[in-house]
Amino acid sequence: MINLQELADSCIECNKCLDVCPVTKVTGNDSFTPRAKISLLDRIEAGKELTEEEMNNVYLSTRCGACDDVCPVDIPITDIIQRERQLLAEQGREPEKTGKICQNILVNNVPGHMDDAHRFDWVTNDLEIAEKAEIAYMGGCWASFAQPEIARSTIQLLNAADIRPMLLEEEKCCGLFLIDNGHLDEAAEHARKYVDYIESQGIKKLVVSCPGCYEVIGKEYAKLGKKPEFEVVFSLDLFSNLVSKGRLQPRKTTGTVSLRDACPMRKEKDVPRQLISAMGYSIEELFEGTVCCGAPAGVKPNFPEISGKIANLTLENLQESNTLVSYCPFCQYHLESVSGEPKPAIKDISTLLAEQTL
């Protein structure tokens, strides 16, 4: 069994994680560094009291993984943060908002102030959706409730390629928030029930628009003991395949777009760029690496001001004339919610591709 405390103690204090951590960038506070976060593990395990600043530090992490990527001694920093949150939850010390969101996912199938009864309000009569099919589409919470044009564009593109997917009548939140905040037993049960339901529908391939859903259902569920029998496909990967086969033929245009990457896909950056190039756009890279939008893992609800400052790392780099292209519905929702006036033009690649294809 991996000893996380030994790994935390192996930190060589090289400060590489400080250079990439979005929280450290915007706060300038040495108490909020990844290194400071993992140093709290032994005290949390012992049930010792933490100061307010130390408690905040544990939850001031989007778990974007940038620190993991640069650590020269391979400390799994985000795993240690997850373990700290797991212990605090078990000890009854997690933030009230975090606990409420976790409970909302388990009881109401949604992470926030959403009404699950309206999950499919984005569905319009022009969309060709099958009652039963081996391929299904899962919009996810943010495309379904906050960015419905992403879900509609995805179905329209599939239809254009002669694919009629079914929807999941009992679609649920994937449970990423539970995992991020250490509610692993609940997440495992959630995964088991959800996978059993999807498999009971005879589905062989599940297409998802959200990188978080892709990561969780496609990879994290297996770690929780419930590996799906069906294939989980990120929508952009499917679109790229359809374009390469000529089943989708986007029209060429001109112009430049600014692209921001999604944290779960930070090691799989080629496909978004290939799709944008296939439409004729030039790409302006906003960052040398991937910089988180600032919303995930509870940072947005618990620390909205800091979350907004992290979002501004993206917005301040955006050229005024450029459309900002994203491929994460949650990122898009967050960036739009914190931006001032005039609002920047932010589009998902799915929406952009639909505009150039249909």
- First-to-last alpha carbon distance for the chain, in angstroms, is 52
Q: State whether residue 217 is helix, strand or coil.
A: helix
Task: Name residue 228's amino acid.
Answer: P
pLDDT at 90: 98
Contact by Cβ (8 Å): 137, 238: no
pLDDT at 316: 87
Residue 288: CB atoms within 10 Å? 6
pLDDT at 319: 73
The greatest distance separating any two alpha carbons of the chain, rounded to the nearest whole angstrom, comes to 61
pLDDT at 135: 99
Q: Which residues pair with 32 in a beta bridge?
A: none
Q: How confident is the model at residue 2 (pLDDT cuts 50, 70, 90)?
A: confident
Angstrom distance (rounded) from CA 289 to CA 259: 12
| Of 65-74, 175-184, 258-267, the least confident | 258-267
* Percent of the chain scoring above 90 in pLDDT: 91
Q: What is the DSSP letter of 130?
A: B
Res 190 pLDDT > 80:
yes
Q: How far is CA 216 from the centre of its chain?
A: 9
Q: How confident is the model at residue 340 (pLDDT cuts 50, 70, 90)?
A: confident
State both tokens at 135: 């391929």
Contact by Cβ (8 Å): 266, 290: yes
CA-based radius of gyration for the chain: 20
Q: How confident is the model at residue 273 (pLDDT cuts 50, 70, 90)?
A: very high
pLDDT digits 0-9 by tens, 18-28: 999 999 999 99
Res 343 pLDDT > 90:
no
Q: For all residues of the chain together, what is the average pLDDT?
A: 96
pLDDT at 13: 95
Among the listed residues 263, 174, 169, 264, the one whose alpha carbon sits nearest the alpha carbon of residue 224: 174
Contact by Cβ (8 Å): 180, 207: no
The CATH class given to the 4-94 domain equals: mainly alpha
Contact by Cβ (8 Å): 188, 279: no
| Domain 107-239 matches domain 251-357 at the CATH topology level | yes
CATH topology of domain 251-357: Rossmann fold (3.40.50)
pLDDT digits 0-9 by tens, 198-244: 999 999 999 999 999 999 999 999 999 999 999 999 999 999 999 99
Task: Give the mean model confidence (pLDDT) for residues 82-89.
Answer: 99
Helices H / strands E in the chain, number of each: 21, 8
pTM, full prediction: 0.96
Task: Give the mean model confidence (pLDDT) for residues 139-149.
Answer: 98
3-state secondary structure 85-110: HHHHHHCCCCCHHHHHHHHHHHHHCC
Task: Give the mean model confidence (pLDDT) for residues 51-76.
Answer: 97
- Give CA separation, 310 vs 43, 291, 302, 347, in Å: 29, 9, 14, 19
The edge-to-edge listing of strands for the beta sheet with 256-259 is 282-285, 256-259, 323-326, 346-348
Domain ranges within the chain, ordered by starting residue? 4-94, 107-239, 251-357
Contact by Cβ (8 Å): 211, 263: yes
Q: What is the DSSP letter of 135?
A: E
Q: Which residues pair with 214 in a beta bridge?
A: none
CA within 13 Å, CB half, 271 = 23
Please state which CATH number belongs to domain 107-239: 3.40.50
Beta strands in 130-200 (DSSP E): 135-138, 166-167
State both tokens at 94: 């997690």
